Amino acid sequence: MPRRSSIGVVGGGASAVCLIDALARAEAEPGSITVFDASANLWRGRAYQLDTETLKVNATPDDMSVRAGDLHHFERWLETRDRVVGATIGVDDYSGARFVPRTVYGEYLEQSAYAALGDLRRQGWQVHLVGEKVTSATRMPDRVLLRTGVGRARAFDYAVLCVGGDSPKDVYGLEGAPGFVGDPYPVVDKLADVGESDSVSIIGSGLTAVDIILSLRAQGHRGRISLLSRRGVLPGVRQRPVHFELRHFTPERLKAMAAELIEFTIEDVSAVMRAEFQEAEADLDAVVGEILRVDQEDAVQRLRRQIAEVDSPQLGLRILQRAVPETGPDVWPWLREEEKVRVLRSHYRTIMSLCCPMPPGSAGVLLDLVDQGRLEIHSGLQDIRPAEAGGFEVVTADGRQLHTDRVVSAVNASEGKIPTEALPLVTSLMRGNAASRHPHGGLHLARETSRLTVNGRPDPRLYGLGNIAAGALFFTFGVPSLVDRAVDIVAAILDHTETAAAALREAVPAGV
C-alpha cells in the first residue's frame, strides 16, 4: 500500500473494545487507529464504570465475550481473576449461573482493549488514544475530518461512530430540585446521601430501576421504595441457562428467504420461528401469550410466577432471548415499514423486557422487598412535582397522590438513540449530507456493513456501531450484537482498503 490506512474511532466504550479486538484478529495490512474519548470511563462506558459490586451484568459470561468466535473468552478471563483474588463472585442463588458485577466486567473490557491494542502495535499498527471529544465531522472526497472541542482537526480514511447511549431523561423537569437524582450512576456516589428512612420514588421500572433498588437495599436503606411508570412492567426473569443451538431462525436462513421473497412479513418470520420451536419441542404459543398478557398481569404476580419458572424445562423464552439479538438485526431491515411500526408501537418494550431479563437473584430481592411491604409498584404515572413543604408529590392516573422524600430517574434514554453529547457531531454530518436520521431512531445504516447511508447509498468511509444503529437494526446494544457488527465493520473497511489499493495499482504505471 502506498499509504497506511487510518481509522478514527469516536467513543471508547464497550462497542469500541469489540471493534478493536475484531481488528486485532483480522489479517490486515498495518495502518493507524485513533480512539477519541474524553470521559473518565475509557473502555468501560457508562454501563460498566467503577461502582458498587451490587450492580450485576444481566447475562451469563458466555453472552459477554468481546472476542468473535470465542464465547468462552470472558469465562477464561474470569477464571484467571478468580485465582488471583481467591474468590468466585456473582454466583446466582436461584439458578447457579454467574452474573458478575458490572464493575468487574469493566475490568475485562479495559484489559481486553489494552491487550488488543498491544497486539495491533506488535503487528505494526500505530495506536493513538486522544482524551478529547469529537464535536464535528466533515466528509472530504477521500477522507473524514474529525474535529474536537479544543479545536484540533485530524483526517482519517475511515471513521467509526461508537458514541454509546444516553443518560436517563428528566421527563418531569425536576433537574435542580432538592432530593432529585437525574442520573443514578455511579450509584455509590449518587445515592450515598439517601437517608436510611427516606421514602424513595424511582421513575421507570426497567433494569436501571432494579439497579437502584438493589443499591439502596445494600446500603442499609429501610424506607419505602416506589417504582413509578406508565405501564408498571418489570424486566423479565432470566431462566437457568440451557445449551442449545438455533437451527432455523439464523441469519443465514433468513438471508436466503429474503433473496427469494418480494416482501418479508411478520408472518414469514413467525413461520421460521415456529419451525425453530417445533424442532426444540417448545411452545411458541406460550411465549406469544407471555408477550400479549404483559399489560394485563399484575406486576407482582408476574414477578412471582417468573421466579417460580427459573428452572422451567421449556425452551421458549430462551429461544426468544437468543434469536432476537442474534438474528434481529438481520431480519429487521427486510420487514415492511408498516410492520416495523406495528412492532415498535405494540410490542417493543415488552420484547425488550423479555429479551433483556434480570438475574433471578435480583428478582428475588425485589420480591422479598414487596413481601416485606417496603417496595410498591405503581403504573399509570401522570406527574411528579416538587412539594411546597419539601419532597415531591406523585400523581397517578387513578387520581392517587403519593408524597415522597426522594426521586431518582431511571427512565430509558430518548428514542432518538443519539446521546445528547453526540448531537453536535451527528448534526455536522447531516448538514454535510454525510448522514441521515432514521425515523425509528439513530442513523440510517446498511445492514451488511454498518456503513452510514444517505438516500440508500452506503458510505465506505463512515460507520456506526451500537445504539446509534437502533432504528436500522432493531437490537444493537447486547455484546453479541456489538461483536457481530464489529466484525462486519472491520471486514468492510479491509475490503474497501484492498479495493482502493488495487485501483491505485492499476492507475499508476509499473515502476512509478
- Identify the CATH number of the domain in which residue 381 sits: 3.50.50.60
Q: What is the mean pLDDT of residues 331-353?
A: 84
Q: What is the mean pLDDT of residues 153-175?
A: 91
Residue 335 lies in a domain: yes
> Does residue 394 share a domain with residue 331?
no
User: Do the beta carbons of residue 266 and residue 345 sit within 8 Å?
Assistant: no
> Does residue 431 share a domain with residue 419?
yes
How many domains does the chain fold into? 3
pLDDT value of residue 337: 86
* Nearest residue to 434 (alpha-carbon basis) of 453, 421, 417, 456: 453
- Which of 473-495 are b and which e, b meaning 16 or more Cβ less than 10 Å from the residue's Cβ? bbbbbbbbbbbbbbbbbbebbbe
Residue showing cell 452474573: 99
Q: What is the mean pLDDT of residues 158-170?
A: 89
> Does residue 341 share a domain with residue 282?
yes
* Nearest residue to 443 (alpha-carbon basis) of 412, 466, 414, 420: 466
Higher pLDDT residue, 272 or 474? 272
pLDDT value of residue 367: 97
The C-alpha cell of 167 is what?
443518560
> Does residue 333 share a domain with residue 464?
no
pLDDT at residue 248 greater than cutoff 50 = yes
User: Do the beta carbons of residue 127 and residue 120 sit within 8 Å?
Assistant: yes
pLDDT at residue 399 greater than cutoff 90 = no
> Does residue 338 share a domain with residue 275?
yes
Whole-number mean pLDDT of the chain?
Answer: 91
Partners of 213 in beta bridges? none
d(CA 463, CA 486): 10
Partners of 378 in beta bridges? 228
pLDDT value of residue 387: 93
> Does residue 497 share a domain with residue 463?
yes
What pLDDT, in 10s, does the model give residues 486-495? 999 999 999 9
**Reported confidence tier of residue 512, pLDDT bands at 50, 70, 90:** low
pLDDT at residue 107 greater than cutoff 80 = yes
Q: For a pLDDT cut of 90, what percent of the chain falls above it?
A: 67
**Reported confidence tier of residue 509, pLDDT bands at 50, 70, 90:** low
pLDDT value of residue 511: 59
Residue 44 lies in a domain: yes
SS (H, E, C) 424-478: HHHHHHHHCCCCCECCCCCECECCCCCEEEECCEEEEEEEECCHHHHHHHCCCCC
Enclosing domain of residue 396: 180-235+359-409
Residue 240 lies in a domain: no
What pLDDT, in 10s, does the model give residues 408-430? 999 876 555 788 889 999 999 99
d(CA 27, CA 302): 49
Q: What is the mean pLDDT of residues 262-268?
A: 81
> Does residue 350 share a domain with residue 363?
no
Residue 223 lies in a domain: yes
Residue 58 lies in a domain: no
Q: What is the mean pLDDT of residues 319-340?
A: 86
> Does residue 366 share a domain with residue 230?
yes
> Does residue 339 share a domain with residue 478?
no
Residue 136 lies in a domain: yes
Residue 72 lies in a domain: no
Chain centroid to Cα 205, Å, comes to 17
Find the length of the chain: 512
pLDDT at residue 344 greater than cutoff 90 = no
What pLDDT, in 10s, does the model give residues 269-318? 888 989 999 999 998 888 888 888 888 899 999 999 999 999 999 999 99
pLDDT at residue 331 greater than cutoff 90 = no
> Does residue 351 share a domain with residue 220?
no
The C-alpha cell of 103 is what?
464493575
Q: What's the CA angle centered on 426, arms 141 and 159, to 5 degrees?
A: 45
Residue 60 lies in a domain: no
> Does residue 40 share a domain with residue 110?
yes
What pLDDT, in 10s, does the model give residues 48-69? 999 999 999 999 999 999 999 9
> Does residue 129 share a domain with residue 14?
yes
Higher pLDDT residue, 132 or 399? 132
Q: What is the mean pLDDT of residues 383-403?
A: 88
pTM of the model: 0.92
Last residue of a domain, one of 338, 355, 372: 355
